[in-house]
Structure 1
Amino acid sequence: MTRFHRTVLLTVVAMLTTILPAESFAFDVVVDGKPMSAIVIADKPLPVVEYAAREFQHHVREASGAELPILRESAAPKDGNRIYLGRCRAADEAGITSEGLSPNAFRGKIDGAGLYIVGRDNWGFSSVDARGVSIGRIQHNGTLFGVYTFLAEKMNVKWLWPGRIGEVIPSARTIRIASWDVTWKPPLRHARLRTHYGPVRFEDGWAKRENMFQFRVDQTAWMLRHRMGNEVSLEYNHAWGNYWNKYGQTRREWFPMMPNGERGLDPIYKNYFPMCISSPSFHEHVIEEWKKRRTAERPWVNGCENDSGGKCICETCRSWDVPAPGDEVSMAKLQEQFDRGEGGWERWMGSLTDRYCRFYLTLQEMARETDPDATVIVLAYENYAKPPVKAKLNRNIVVSLVPGMMYPWTDDGREAFRDQWQGWSDAGASLYLRPNYSLDGHAMPIFYAHKFGEDFAFAFKRGMIATDFDSLTGQYATQGPTLYMKVRMQVDGDVPPQEILDDFYGGFGPASEQIRAYFDHWREVSDAVTHEKLRKAIREELDGDGGGWPEFYKTAPVIFRPNVMRRGSELLAVAERAARDEERTAEKVAFLRHGLTNVEQILETQAAYRGYKKSGEPYEFVAALRRLDRFRAKHEHLWIANMGYLRWSEDRHWDRNLVDVHRAENQALPTKWKFMWDPRDKGVRDEWYADDFNTDAWHEIATTSHWEKQPIGKKWKQKHGRNYDGFAWYRNAFEVERSDDEAKYMLYFGAVDEACTVWINGRKVLVRPFPFEENMNSWMEPFEIDVTDALRFDGINTVAVRVEDNRGGGGIWRSVYIAERR
């Protein structure tokens, strides 16, 4: 549909809802700002119906100024127009019921003096309150979705982002509806952008907890307004993650055969293990567990492999394999890589998809003895992500497809996704989209709405039954069009993506074309990025110190350069001028300005952080952090961004503890420490912790990043061909002046990755294992030790730290200081 035709259509809708002659057949909701209807609900309504009534009332009031009363059916007058919501006597008598409707579906009809909206509802709805109800729960909200359909279709309401500023409610002193007769059901059985996952639920970063809770409330309401919900649970996690601890010693045949000839864990990556999926006794166990645990909400067999690629090289598993075209399969190279202690050796087995498909079909066949319609839910992941070569599935095999694509969205990546989706669809499976790319971008104005919309439409037409996006990061003031596209396509997957973008820009009224130009700028910037260009820029301009999705702000400076940011600011200024005479539009444009300012300050802070890492002087970085946090505290109530997600991401590298360190009562230890590798673990035996131990032969290291990212770590890798894992030691010396005899003195560590033992003046003061108290995030969390009794206040103190790291980055990687506590 062209923009001209869309404008004509909206004009006709406006005429039907505001200026239809009174003598024509019509249903009057409001006339000249006066309520002509009452909202009627059952005497004992479901919570979802009560909420639907309040939402109908709110939008009519915002559009017309009229307050429609909400009445229980027994108290409603017999004359006048009535808007019946949910099941009630009048709806039953009119024959407008939810009978035969699927969950979340509704019927809407105008019949004489009654407007009826009756949906398939249940008690699963939790009123949107300070807890921010999760869309992931099974809630049947048919009547509520009927209200939102009416508001969108008959009043041209839009919801660009969460909260009042994101509402687009056209003014209409008269709301008169010519006719309405519709039955609607969601096109997907499950539609979700996750809001319950750790990083997007992070609480630090919000200056006020009440703002955090209200953000969650409004964000949930926004997704409901876009009719996102589910009729079936997809809460099926990796199925056997705790099996090694439970069965590792008693059922060894369930675990993969390793290249060393033993069944068990991969000695290189012990925390991530698959199963031997050809084991008959394992099949029997899975089905017996399913029979015991299945419920009406979760009736499917969980065949989701653990968070790992397949690794079993036993004869039976390998006999099930059918290599995909182009695979290089070499057991000799696999063995060589394994023997070198290098991860990723399993790639030399090629695609294991046909192996896994045989496993899925075996589970289904066994489950059908109990349930003839048994459904098995599985993952297309790691080295079983490619479509099968020979295996044929059926619609009761539900495949969670995790695209390998992340930002930037390139033609090659998009083509690979479409080929993958088409292949699984051709194999006969039902598919649900379970991407990770929604996590990308930090707060940066990345733009891929058009590409996402086109690819989603492709998948929507080819076997898609559900979505489950990981996750909704909530960067509404910079990534608004892309986020809007994601929620709209869940129910409008057959609408051209450009039409959805037109809807978004149209919400800016007199500034709509200027806002289009503003986001077109970010579209052009994003479209110009390729993986090759990005890697080259990171290598040459950032000394290789970029970041993946959790640390995208580290990579952002090579994309969002000063000239790019200036041009974005200039285009937004044009939109500000176009919007200045229309208050609601000006608010929306100001919302975008705050988002852009947040980005500018993030880039300034990252530049200051890089300077701090080079010089060891933290003052500019601390000042930039303070400016950024003050700005966010001032504007967080507008919902420009999920501040918790940003804080989670930034705290992986930015040491905000430095802001506290540079208070008068705290003393930062020098960032340059003495350092020594200890691959043979002889440091304790040789007393490297001793107060008078000589460190003249030791190296120098900083405590601003992991040892792998520093010259000493890079030299190790260059010499040995791999990063160092094992034991290493840090030592430093410092003085402390006691200002208060009653004060306690705490040795504060910003973070140590992973385990550590600490000595002060030769006295052991801490043993901290990993994971500490079963917390797998303890490697990135601060801790402190009361060292008052171990300190000398009249001389030099020594601190020695023995670090043990067995995976990923290692070492003391954030600031250390002495904090005085009174």
Structure 2
Amino acid sequence: MTRRLSGGSFARLLALLSGLGAGAAVFAGEEPAPATRSGWDTVPLGEEAPRQAFVPAPVKKSAPAFRQKRLLDGEPLTLLDTDAGQTRLALIVPAKPRPAEKLAAEELQAAFEAMSGVRVPIFNENAVVFEKDAVLADGGPYPRAVLLGALKHGLDAGADNLPPEGFRIVTRGNHLLIAGRDGLAKSEPDNEPDSAYHGSHGERGTLYGALAFLEEECGVRWLWPGPNGTVHPKTHRIQAVRADWRDAPALNQRRVRNWGPVTRGPRGASLSSLGSRVKQGLAVYQLPLERYIENSLVAGDWFRHQRTGGSLQYRYTHAFNDWFKRHGEAHPEWFALQPDGSRAPLLPGRIRLCAANHDLTRAIARDILDKAAKSPGEISFSISPNDEDGKNFYCMDEACRRLDPPNGNPLNFRVIREEKPLAFSYPSLSDRMVDFYNRIATEVAAERPDLTLGTYAYASYRTPPLRQKLHPNVLIGFVGLTYLNDNTLEQDRRLWEGWAGVTDRLFLRPNLFHAGQGFPAIYVRKLDRDIKRCFETGMVGADFDAVVHHWATQGLNYYVLARLLWDPSQDAMALVDDYCRTGFGAAAAPVRRYFEKVEELTDRIAAVMGGESGNDTLREEEIVDVLKQAGSRQGFFAVASRIYTPEQLGELESLLDEAAGIASVDTAVAARVEFLRAGLAYTRQQSRLFRLVTDQTPPPAEDIHALLEERKEVFRQIFEENFYAVGFAHAGFRERVAGILKEYRNTPKKPKPQN
């Protein structure tokens, strides 16, 4: 549903947040009598919450200090030198290598070959003999070796005392030793294939050590998926500095979702999730699904190379999809009272619960305890409500409304009652939901105090509670931060401060990458500022939804984010400089200016989009229905197309022309410049089209049809030649749902010729 508040709602939100403070009391709702579980109404019945002065969240932890590098005496260890005929190098893994150890060897083998032309063999340690000056294996002696993982012969790097996912790299004689913490995650994600997150669902320290060596010692970079985005510096010599160094991630959950992933199974490659959305999006531009599946297979490699994933995988996604099917007949009172007086959901899959019902929370707690008993390795379970869907509404019986302070942040709601739309203002449901979470957590902790219960601060319960403090076993995922609306961003930053003041178990769960519709959008400075602030105020993990594969127009954001999630203390501007230098060589300067110009234009979009402040329960980046505002002159399609004017696009094009002229002697760099140019070609088509469609007096339909035909051909060329430049599946899906071009979709029939 689309919901807008008046221009004063942001001021009311700040006034409300001024009442948040460390002294807020924990308020546990008493169990209501059965007679009070009735009476659907829109009047909150809770006690008014006390107001206190707003205090920013305290700094709870400093920048990570896991990385240590101690230089050792001696000249660098030369692993390969093709000019000197020094090509006998071996990669050694344990007799029964773990997946991380096997992957580490394969990554080093592929990179060394791409850089030097030498394919280095991989041996299991039981197939070699270690002597003083060489490793004896099939094919003769190997004077130098890279030893990977937990080898038994005593030359392993010693990774036992490392932090989770940590690694150690050390040179010892003629050997390079890389080992790390390797193992399975303590809790797997809810019903999600590995491809949806890519990277790891466990500890892969040895792999991460190999990747770190390739980056730091060899100059390898993975800027975006595919060969064009991979930097393998050509060299005749590969060396390792004499050193003993180690590193580990600051966060043990670093999810960055891979939208529309493709996996390879026994029957070949196939879409593993979001398949229907991918198909709908490609159909908008008439692009072939087979090509998408073929090319998307390697997209997941980028997530692994950037070391996303984590050793902890908390559960917090929708927890109650099947509860009406399981319990609706026996316990209808457990479900939300709807405006028509019933408790049966209109959409069974996204049911709403009666949060005040204590029998329900006891049943949920018992269900969690039973699952935990059957799965001893699980450490986390979800208690998260379902997303809003516009059909099943929150419970508005008397008992639930007694949990809602009347001076809570006002939100706009709309429901259907007696077959008519009813719009009304009602306070945030955060206190109600925290009371619900706390009751479940208290029941569970009585038997299993070690379990973590995950949920969201989202939609109608995004603002911090006024009366409640969270049970220490409840983990809150804050669904916020968007960089294409300044007012919304400032609200979100302040809301994070509020939540960080009432809980120490908070993770960041933005939907921000869904916004932007593939237009160029760079916001690394703001992203850097916010990741650092969230980390120092207690962020324990992150889950970003999702990389939608606009690599030419927004890929720099993806890259910087992944690096910061590993180590938030890094300088984001240094990361950008490194991205430009390693990826674009002598053309780095104009490419850097190109990104700076895009960031400037992104800031302008955010300022214009923030002109109408609002406190919608759902925002443009979170639900595609809100995109239906795009036809207005305030919608994103209209705003972006009027900022990316022909003049601005021409200025950006000239910067890429300058880069292309410099890069003409380097085919790899020239191809990367053309990759960025493909993003501009996409933008030129979209801005011209949407500028016309959202105009107060749109042109004749036949003019729009002509532009759509031209766009189709340009998009097909980008799709074929620079597949990863634009995420056409995602852009098409959101464009389709927005309905902005619906009336132009069908090409008009040509009139029959007259006899």
Q: TM-score range by the shorter chain?
A: 0.7 to 0.9
Partner Cα separation in structure 1 for residue 478 and residue 463 of structure 2: 10
Q: Name which of 433, 456, 460 aligns with 1:356.
A: 433
Partner Cα separation in structure 2 for residue 155 and residue 322 of structure 1: 59
Partner Cα separation in structure 1 for residue 246 and residue 601 of structure 2: 42
Deviations 1:453-506 (A, max 9, x none): 211111122221221111111111111222212221111211122222222222
The alpha-carbon deviation at position 289 of structure 1 amounts to 1.6
Alignment of 1:237-316 (within 5 A): 237-257=317-337, 262=341, 264=343, 273-294=351-372, 295-296=375-376, 298-308=378-388, 311-316=394-399
Q: Name which of 109, 116, 124 aligns with 2:177.
A: 116
Partner Cα separation in structure 2 for residue 236 and residue 545 of structure 1: 30
Alignment of 1:552-567 (within 5 A): 553=637, 556-567=640-651
Partner residue in 1 for 2:211 = 148
Partner Cα separation in structure 2 for residue 88 and residue 344 of structure 1: 67
Partner Cα separation in structure 2 for residue 96 and residue 344 of structure 1: 65
Q: Name which of 714, 725, 729 aligns with 1:628.
A: 714
Which is bigger in relative contact order (C-alpha 8 A, separation at least 6)?
A: 2
Counterparts in 2 of 1:98 and 1:464: CA distance versus 1, 3 Å: same
Partner Cα separation in structure 2 for residue 426 and residue 492 of structure 1: 24
SS of the equivalent of 1:393 reads: coil
Partner Cα separation in structure 2 for residue 97 and residue 234 of structure 1: 29
Q: Is the 8 A contact 1:41 1:49 kept in 2?
A: yes
Partner residue in 1 for 2:311 = 231
Alignment of 1:353-752 (within 5 A): 353-393=430-470, 395-403=472-480, 405-410=481-486, 412-507=487-582, 508-530=584-606, 532=608, 546=630, 553=637, 556-606=640-690, 615-617=700-702, 619-637=705-723, 639-652=724-737, 653=739
Deviations 1:75-96 (A, max 9, x none): 3353022111122223xx1363
Q: Is the 8 A contact 1:272 1:307 kept in 2?
A: yes
Q: Is the 8 A contact 1:323 1:389 kept in 2?
A: no
Partner residue in 2 for 1:711 = none
Partner Cα separation in structure 1 for residue 415 and residue 277 of structure 2: 43
Counterparts in 2 of 1:503 and 1:323: CA distance versus 1, 3 Å: farther
The alpha-carbon deviation at position 56 of structure 1 amounts to 0.9
Counterparts in 2 of 1:571 and 1:532: CA distance versus 1, 3 Å: closer
Partner Cα separation in structure 2 for residue 27 and residue 525 of structure 1: 47
Q: Is the 8 A contact 1:64 1:173 kept in 2?
A: yes
Partner Cα separation in structure 2 for residue 448 and residue 324 of structure 1: 35
1:462 counterpart letter in structure 2 = T
Partner Cα separation in structure 2 for residue 338 and residue 622 of structure 1: 41
Is 1:202 matched with 2:278?
yes
| Unmatched 5+ stretches in structure 1 | 1-12, 537-543, 671-734, 736-822
Q: Is the 8 A contact 2:315 2:382 kept in 1?
A: no
Q: Is the 8 A contact 2:76 2:242 kept in 1?
A: yes
Q: Is the 8 A contact 1:132 1:214 kept in 2?
A: no
TM-score by length of structure 1 reads: 0.68
Q: Is the 8 A contact 1:445 1:522 kept in 2?
A: yes
Partner Cα separation in structure 2 for residue 384 and residue 162 of structure 1: 37
The alpha-carbon deviation at position 278 of structure 1 amounts to 1.8
TM-score by length of structure 2 reads: 0.73
Partner Cα separation in structure 2 for residue 640 and residue 334 of structure 1: 39
Q: Is the 8 A contact 1:273 1:308 kept in 2?
A: no
Q: Is the 8 A contact 1:35 1:67 kept in 2?
A: no
The alpha-carbon deviation at position 315 of structure 1 amounts to 4.0
Partner Cα separation in structure 2 for residue 311 and residue 328 of structure 1: 15
Q: Is the 8 A contact 2:475 2:506 kept in 1?
A: yes
Q: Name which of 178, 192, 196 aligns with 2:255.
A: 192
Partner residue in 1 for 2:231 = 168
Q: Name which of 20, 39, 48 aligns with 2:91.
A: 39
Partner Cα separation in structure 2 for residue 599 and residue 365 of structure 1: 52
Counterparts in 2 of 1:180 and 1:211: CA distance versus 1, 3 Å: farther
1:526 counterpart letter in structure 2 = T
Is 1:177 matched with 2:240?
yes
The alpha-carbon deviation at position 395 of structure 1 amounts to 4.6
Q: Is the 8 A contact 2:531 2:564 kept in 1?
A: yes
What percent identity do the matched residue pairs reach? 24
Q: Is the 8 A contact 2:77 2:242 kept in 1?
A: yes
The alpha-carbon deviation at position 68 of structure 1 amounts to 2.3
Partner Cα separation in structure 1 for residue 410 and residue 516 of structure 2: 34
Partner residue in 1 for 2:80 = 30
| Unmatched 5+ stretches in structure 2 | 1-68, 135-142, 261-273, 613-627
Counterparts in 2 of 1:568 and 1:116: CA distance versus 1, 3 Å: same
Partner Cα separation in structure 1 for residue 453 and residue 199 of structure 2: 20
Partner residue in 1 for 2:198 = 135
Partner Cα separation in structure 1 for residue 437 and residue 74 of structure 2: 61
Counterparts in 2 of 1:439 and 1:533: CA distance versus 1, 3 Å: closer
Q: Is the 8 A contact 1:258 1:264 kept in 2?
A: yes
Deviations 1:395-447 (A, max 9, x none): 532101101x445241x433322222222122123111111111011221022
Deviations 1:740-760 (A, max 9, x none): xxxxxxxxxxxxxxxxxxxxx
1:471 counterpart letter in structure 2 = A
| Mean CA deviation greater in 509-518 or 309-318 | 309-318
Deviations 1:656-712 (A, max 9, x none): 9999967xxxx68x9xxxxxxxxxxxxxxxxxxxxxxxxxxxxxxxxxxxxxxxxxx
**How many residues matched?**
624
Counterparts in 2 of 1:532 and 1:661: CA distance versus 1, 3 Å: closer
Deviations 1:707-745 (A, max 9, x none): xxxxxxxxxxxxxxxxxxxxxxxxxxxx9xxxxxxxxxx
1:168 counterpart letter in structure 2 = V
Partner Cα separation in structure 2 for residue 584 and residue 438 of structure 1: 28
Deviations 1:752-794 (A, max 9, x none): xxxxxxxxxxxxxxxxxxxxxxxxxxxxxxxxxxxxxxxxxxx
The alpha-carbon deviation at position 284 of structure 1 amounts to 1.5
The alpha-carbon deviation at position 622 of structure 1 amounts to 4.9
Q: Is the 8 A contact 2:76 2:239 kept in 1?
A: yes
Partner Cα separation in structure 2 for residue 470 and residue 552 of structure 1: 19
Counterparts in 2 of 1:148 and 1:290: CA distance versus 1, 3 Å: same
Partner Cα separation in structure 2 for residue 454 and residue 143 of structure 1: 31
Q: Find the structure with the greater CA-based Rg.
A: 1
Q: Name which of 168, 174, 194 aligns with 1:107.
A: 168
2:533 counterpart letter in structure 1 = F
The alpha-carbon deviation at position 615 of structure 1 amounts to 3.4
Partner residue in 2 for 1:721 = none
The alpha-carbon deviation at position 601 of structure 1 amounts to 2.8
SS of the equivalent of 2:298 reads: helix
The alpha-carbon deviation at position 263 of structure 1 amounts to 5.4
Counterparts in 2 of 1:95 and 1:571: CA distance versus 1, 3 Å: closer
1:67 counterpart letter in structure 2 = R
Partner Cα separation in structure 1 for residue 277 and residue 208 of structure 2: 26
Deviations 1:332-381 (A, max 9, x none): x9999978944563x42x23322222222221111123212121111101
